[in-house]
Amino acid sequence: MIAMPLLEKLVSLVVPPLCVVCREPEWSGDAVCPACRRGLVALPDPRCERCGAPVVTRVSRCPECRGRPLGFRAAWSPYAYESAARGVVAALKARGATPAARLMAAAIVSRAPAGLLAGTLVPVPAHPERKRRHGMNQASCLAAALGCEAKLPVARALRRAPGSRPQVGLARGERLANARGSVSMRQAPPAGRLVLVDDVYTTGATLDACARSLVEAGGEDVVAVTFARATR
C-alpha cells in the first residue's frame, strides 16, 4: 500500500492540489499558496501569560481576561483569526481539508513557546449537531495532526454534555454563559500536562469549560493551544 503523503505527491503530478484558502492550483503541494501564506497575520508579542492575547506589556492588565477566572493555566495561538487564517480554518471546518490540519499543526509546533507542547493532547469535543452537519470534529483532526507533528499522544477524554447548545451565533456574553457546564468527562484524564486543542480561541469560554472539567477530574496542569485567536 502506498503511504498517503506519497500518494498525494503522485496525484499532484497529474492534478495539482488547490490552495485551501483561495482554491487556486498550488504546484508546490503546499496547503496554501505563497500569497495566502503572506496573509497569515502572526500575533505579536508581548502576550498575556494567561489567555495569550496581545498586551502592551506583560505586567499590564489584559483587556481580554482581566477579572475572569480561567480553568486553564495558559493559552497560546500563532495567528490572529483574520484574513487567510479564517480561510484555513474554514477549509478544515467546512470541507474537512486534511492539508489544512497539517498546516495548522506545523504552525503551532514551529512557533509555540519552548516547553509548552508536552504531555497529552486533548481535543475540544464538538457539539453533536455541529458534528452531524460537518461530518467530523475539526479539533480532533487538528489534535491528530498535532500529535503526529509533535510526537505526542492524543486522549479524547471530553464530551459535550447532553442538552448543551452550540456556541455558533452567540454574542460574547451569551457564549460565556452557555459554555458553563457544557462539557463532561468521557474518561479519567491522563497524568501530567494536558494540552487542550481547538481551531480558534474566540472568547475562551469553551476552552475554560473543558479545562474546568479536566481539573475537577484530577487534571494536573492544563494549557490550551489553537491555530488562531480572535482579538478585540
pLDDT in tens, 115-161: 999 999 999 998 766 655 656 789 999 999 999 999 999 999 999 87
pLDDT classification of 61: cutoffs 50, 70, 90: confident
User: Which has the higher per-residue pLDDT, 217 or 170?
Assistant: 217
Contact between residue 208 and residue 71 where contact means Cβ atoms under 8 Å apart: yes
Helix-strand-coil percent breakdown of the chain, rounded to 5? 35, 15, 50
Q: How many whole angstroms separate alpha carbon 224 and alpha carbon 33?
A: 28
How deeply is 173 buried, as exposed, middle or buried, from its count of CB atoms within 10 A (0-12, 13-18, 19+)? exposed
Name, in order, each residue with C-beta under 8 angstroms of 217's C-beta and a sequence gap of 6 or more. 185, 188, 189
pLDDT at 97 over 90: no
Strands 158-160 and 79-80: unpaired
Name, in order, each residue with C-beta under 8 angstroms of 115's C-beta and a sequence gap of 6 or more. none
What is the reported pTM?
Answer: 0.85
CA angle, corner 53, sides to 157 and 218, nearest 5? 25
Percent with pLDDT over 70 in the chain: 80
Strands 183-185 and 158-160: antiparallel
Per-residue model confidence (pLDDT) at position 1 = 40
pLDDT at 12 over 70: no
CA dihedral 92, 98, 104, 109 (to 10 degrees): 150
Q: What is the mean pLDDT of residues 96-101?
A: 87
